[in-house]
Structure 1
Amino acid sequence: MAKNNVNEMSFLDHLEDLRWHLIRIFTAIVICGFVAFLFKDFIFHIIFAPTKMGFPTYKTLCQVSQFFGFNDSTFCSDEFPFIIQSRKFASQFSAHIWTSFYAGFIISFPYVLYQLWKFISPGMKTNERKHSRGFIIISSILFFIGVLFGYYIISPLSINFLGTYQVSDQVDNQFDLDNYVGLIRASVIASGIIFELPIIIYFLTKVGLVTPEFLKKYRKFALVIVLVFSAIITPPDIASQIIVAIPILILYQVSIFISKMVVKNQKKKQKKDVKVS
């Protein structure tokens, strides 16, 4: 367990401390996942609704398409030209279990951050802990915004394109349940993690691994990486890639600003220490 003075802890003590934090994290995810498991109908009938043309994203994109004169847009169809099927005995149960686990992770994310913070914070200085006081709240907000972005933007765009794409009229689209559920889970979790970029840059700047100059210098490369990443996780059309790329680029710019603030505060502290000495 954690001791009051981190300097008195041995390596084995740190491992023991980490073990208990990981146990608490895993327990929280399992408990939240069990609750999600009980709400099977809500999750698979309501949450996994991007296959229904009444989904808010499709309605909005249909209105936009009609505004620009694209009345035959796939966003305005009555239903998708595919079915979701389960071709293995344990497929539905497996999808239920893993979806509940991922849901448990999303629901318990603030607590997961809290436990990680409890493990890391004893090694930080008092002023560092003070300036990082809102870490859990800000990180959680960014994560949930990313989850919503993945759910309402990436998932429906991907499902709409892949579900309506055909190489031939003689080939029917019949997707496995695991593939469909996995696509939504991956989109949601990946987006949530991506939106943590400002927090990651903050800590990398704190430890000296990243500087504002470094981020500015490689901004062009970051732009290329973002566009490539957007092309991978979205349908291969320009509009979808731009929709995904814009918030990521904004996050990158915000990360540069945060890095500047961290360096500025560090320089102020150094000047103050020099005056005191």
Structure 2
Amino acid sequence: MPLMDHLRELRNRLVKALLAILVVTIVALFYYKDIAHFLVKPVCDLDVQGVGQSECSALVQKGVLSPFSTMLKVSFVVGVVAAAPIWLYQLWAFLAPGLHKNEKRYSLSFVALGVPLFVAGAWFSYAILPHALEALLGFTVAGANNQIDLDEYLDFLVRMVLVFGLACELPLILILMNFAGIISAKNMISWWRWVVMGIFIFGAVATPTTDPLTMCLLSVPITFLYGLAILVALINDKRRGRHRTEQLGGDLDDDEASDLDLTPSRLDTTTPTPRNGHDASVHADDIT
């Protein structure tokens, strides 16, 4: 399509995605209190010295507009997350016409597996959130009353969810690169020491807490998923090797030459078919 048609297509896809987010956000506004209660439950259930327990008195909101802005923030986050299948489909529908058939198949598999992995990572972060809060609030000075700002807590929660959710996508990206032929299982195995060290460094930097237990709770599952990605890559490379053996006579690298068939074949010596009543053949002495 011409450039302007591409821009119109992008505009239409963006409008549909934003409308889906807006509709879900409006629906979330009606259930804001139930959603907010679910989000602050880890704080209300804490049993840490210096943190109030009566009706979740540890959480405070400052200012007249703070409750209203918090309601909008919570509803918008729910709208973005709950409408993810719709805006991901719109993104896919915009990119799909430019992909080959095998690339479409790999991309659909990536989307189909990526959403459950992100949800699993987000749920895991919510499950370990009480431990992370206990580790941080445990440093409260004895006798002091620690009051948690609700906006700060929500930012902390969103960061935890995003970090754990996106970290679970790393092995899937490696598998997609392997299926696309960019990296091999042999490369992934040779990189394992650096990758594991990088995973633990990422876990130490990305998690909002400073305790090593939370870092390990993020890094160990990602390391396990990396091993699973290597296993899938090994199976795929073995399948690809069998295919190359059948087609090329061996599992060859891209810069290796395949075996050539040097068996002589019989030439076709039949007389060319005349065109328009004249002989289609051209003699060298007829060319001046």
**TM-score scaled by structure 2?**
0.72
Q: Which moved more, 1:129-138 or 1:90-99?
A: 129-138
Which residue is equivalent to 1:64?
Answer: none
Q: Report if the CA contact (8 A) 2:164-2:218 is conserved.
A: no
Distance 2:69 2:213 in 1: 35
The 1:172/1:253 distance shift into structure 2, 3 A limit, reads same
Which residue is equivalent to 1:223?
Answer: 196
Matched, 1:25 2:11: no
The 1:11/1:251 distance shift into structure 2, 3 A limit, reads farther
The 1:182/1:207 distance shift into structure 2, 3 A limit, reads same
Percent identity over the alignment is 26
Distance 1:238 1:45 in 2: 29
Q: Deviations over 1:101-136 (max 9, x none)?
A: 111121122223222222222222224434554443
Return the match for 1:102 from 77, 83, 86.
77
Q: How far off is 1:45 after superposition?
A: 1.4
Distance 1:78 1:48 in 2: 14
Instruction: Report matched runs for 1:184-195 at 5 Å.
Output: 184-195=157-168
The 1:152/1:132 distance shift into structure 2, 3 A limit, reads same
Q: Report if the CA contact (8 A) 1:157-1:234 is conserved.
A: no
Which residue is equivalent to 1:39?
Answer: 31
Q: How far off is 1:236 after superposition?
A: 3.3
The 1:16/1:207 distance shift into structure 2, 3 A limit, reads farther
Which residue is equivalent to 1:118?
Answer: 93
Count of residues paired in the alignment: 247
Matched, 1:251 2:225: yes
Which residue is equivalent to 1:67?
Answer: none
In structure 2, list runs of 5 or more residues that go unmatched.
Answer: 250-288
Q: Deviations over 1:30-51 (max 9, x none)?
A: 2212211221111111233111
Distance 2:239 2:4 in 1: 34
In structure 1, list runs of 5 or more residues that go unmatched.
Answer: 1-8, 59-72
The 1:79/1:230 distance shift into structure 2, 3 A limit, reads farther
Q: Deviations over 1:176-224 (max 9, x none)?
A: 1111111111111222222222332233335554433333233222222
Distance 1:24 1:273 in 2: 46
In structure 1, give the amino acid aligned to 2:193.
Answer: K
Which residue is equivalent to 2:255?
Answer: none
In structure 1, give the amino acid aligned to 2:77.
Answer: Y
Which residue is equivalent to 1:89?
Answer: 64
**TM-score scaled by structure 1?**
0.74
